[in-house]
Amino acid sequence: MSTQSPAANTASIPRLHKARREGRKITMVTAYDATFARIIDSAGVDAILVGDSLGNVIQGHGTTLPVTLDHMIYHCQAVMRGVQSAHVVGDLPFMTYHASQDDALRNAGRLMAEGGVHAVKLEGGRHLAPLIERMTYAGIPVMGHLGLTPQSVHQLGGFRVQGRSDADATRLLDDARALQDAGAYALVLEMVPADLAARVTEALEIPTIGIGAGPHTSGQVLVCYDLLGLNEGFKPRFLKRYATLADTIRAAVQDYDREVKAGAFPDPEHSF
Ligand code: KIV
């Protein structure tokens, strides 16, 4: 019998690699709190990402840049309390892995030791390879993130598709190989043309997880608020909504508002 709690989940990366080898698609969904994490985990997804997209959907910012390491640790801790079986990745936020490698290692270590996640994700190409090597050496599994890297949105000139020109596509392919060679165990590809995502996936042994990257990646990731129809103003082409929860919530709150104002709630059944 295992002596570890299910949430320790130490075999979750080998499971992702097995899925990649066997050609089974990998699913990843973001979560930021224990309640959503519990529901999403019980739905059977392979992985949960505590994304710095919480800057947008939780904190209401226009970018992920204001998210701090302490914010991430807080949300990772909450998510881990809700998860039994999924692999959980935490984003290293803006400027927590750039000032120096020592800083980056300490910050990634905090996200794992205090946040409790199984791995960290960071955005960027081959210039991060030496850092990823050091993190991997230290026992910190690293998921890469290429294509549209939201922490560089000002440098990229907006939230737009990346890798459209031959030169950009070649650079992205080389970056992907460099991250894999440095020890990254998986790679998010965001907002890249489907044929480029297919080429990257074919060139790598590690799984690629796409968002706005077409159907040929090893898996897919979506932000839970987008997938569930909670983020009403956000309608990029790549997004498919699997529910319209904003409508459901609004209707429920309107019912409550109406019943309280009419004196219909609480009724004897809901009173002591
Ligand atoms: O922060 C996030 O949610 C992400 C996904 C969109 C991949 O990085």
Q: What is the pLDDT of residues 47-71, one digit of tens each?
A: 999 999 999 999 999 999 999 999 9
- The model's pLDDT over 199-208, given as tens digits with 9 standing for 90+, comes to 999 999 999 9
Q: Is the pLDDT of residue 3 over 80?
A: no
- Residue 5: pLDDT band (50, 70, 90) is low
Per-residue pLDDT band for 10 (boundaries 50, 70, 90) equals confident
* Residue listed under structure tokens 């429920």: 252
215: exposed, middle or buried (Cβ count in 10 Å: 0-12, 13-18, 19+) = exposed
**Residue 147 pLDDT more than 90?**
yes
What CA dihedral angle connects 230, 68, 218 and 200, to 10 degrees?
A: 120
Identify the three-state secondary structure at position 90.
strand
- To test the ligand 1 pocket, which listed residue (32, 36, 52) has its Cβ within 8 A of the most ligand atoms? 52
Of 8-22, 100-114, 155-169, 222-236, least confident by mean pLDDT is 8-22
Measured by CA distance, the residue closest to atom 5 of ligand 1 is 51
What is the band of 167 on the pLDDT scale with cuts at 50, 70, 90? very high
Helices 194-203 & 166-182 angle (0-180, nearest 10): 30
Rounded Cα distance between 77 and 182, Å, is 28
How confident is the model at residue 141, as a pLDDT?
98
Check whether 195 has a pLDDT greater than 80: yes
Question: Which numbered atom of ligand 1 lies nearest the CA of 222?
Answer: 6
Per-residue confidence at 220, pLDDT binned at 50, 70, 90?
very high
Q: 89 and 140 in contact (C-beta within 8 Å)?
A: no
- Identify the three-state secondary structure at position 35: helix
83 within 8 A of 104, measured Cβ to Cβ? no
User: How far is it, in rounded angstroms, from Cα 207 to Cα 200?
Assistant: 10
Q: Which of 2-6, 9-13, 81-85, 191-195 comes out lowest in average pLDDT?
A: 2-6
Q: What is the pLDDT of residue 7?
A: 58
Q: Residue 16: what are its φ and ψ, rounded to 5°?
A: -65, -40
Above 70 in pLDDT, residue 4? no
What's the pLDDT score for residue 255?
Answer: 98
The CA angle 111-112-113, to the nearest 5 degrees, is 100
pLDDT(22) > 60: yes
CA count, 13 A, side-chain hemisphere, 245: 12
Residue ranges lining ligand 1, Cβ < 6 Å: 30, 49, 51-53, 91, 188, 190, 211, 221, 223
CATH topology of domain 12-241: TIM Barrel (3.20.20)
Token pair listed for 82: 């809700």
How many whole angstroms separate alpha carbon 180 and alpha carbon 189?
Answer: 13
Among 221, 225, 231, 239, say which to mutate for ligand 1: greatest number of ligand atoms within 8 Å of CB: 221
- Mapped onto helix, strand or coil, the DSSP state of residue 227 is helix
